[in-house]
Amino acid sequence: MDEPILAKPGAGLPFVESLYLRWYLGPFVSRKADKATNLRHFTLLSSRVLKEANGVPEGKRDHKVLVPTMRGIEDSSRHWSANEVLEHLMIVGTAMRGLIEDLAAGRTSDFVVRIADVKPKGKYKGGDARPDFTDFINETARRLEPLDIVDGGVEHEHPWFGGFNALQWTWLLAGHSGIHLNQLVAIKKGLPR
C-alpha cells in the first residue's frame, strides 16, 4: 500500500471534538476519579494494550495499517504499526510521568507539549517494543503510586485540554492508553493474513 495522504502531525482534532475536550472532558470529567482509580485504569488499559500487542505475529510488528478515523487520534497518527503504537505510548507516557511528578511536588516546568513532537521515531523497527513497554508500565506505577496527587495545585498546559494539574494529567495518562488500545485492536484487524 502506498503511503496515505494524511494531515500534518500536530494539525489537531476535528473542531467539534476539540470543543468537547477543552470544555467538557478537560474541566469536568478529568477531575472525577482519584489518583488510585486513575492509576488502576492506567495499569489495566496498558496491560490490555500489551495483551493485544502479544497477539501481533513477530513478522508483522512493523506492518502499518491505516485505521479509520478514531476519537482522540489526529489524522497523522492513523497509519502506524503495533511497534509504533507502543513507542508512542512510551514517549508520551514518560513525558506525562515527569510532568505529574513535578506538578505533585508543586514544581512548574517550561516544557511545551507539542503533539507533533511525540510521534514514533522508529526506534523499534525490526525489533520488539513489548519488553520496554512492560518496563514502562511497571516503572510508571512504581513512581506515581507514592505521590500525593490531588485535584488542585499548579498546572501545566496541554494543547488540546488547557491547564491540567497532577490529578488531571494522571487521568489523561490512563485515557491515552485506552485511546491507543482501540487503535491497536484496529491495526490487528487490518493486518494481512
Q: Is the pLDDT of residue 24 over 60?
A: yes
Report helix, strand or coil for 138: helix
Averaged pLDDT, 174-183: 98
Q: Quickly list DSSP for 90-112.
A: HHHHHHHHHHHHHHHTT------
Model pTM score: 0.97
| Per-residue pLDDT tens digits for 105-161 | 999 989 999 999 999 999 999 999 999 999 999 999 999 999 999 999 999 999 999
What pLDDT shows up at residue 3?
87
Per the CB < 8 A criterion, the answer to whether 73 and 179 are in contact is: yes
Q: What's the DSSP call for residue 63?
A: -
Q: Quickly list DSSP for 110-137.
A: -----GGGGS--STTTTS--HHHHHHHH
What pLDDT shows up at residue 1?
57
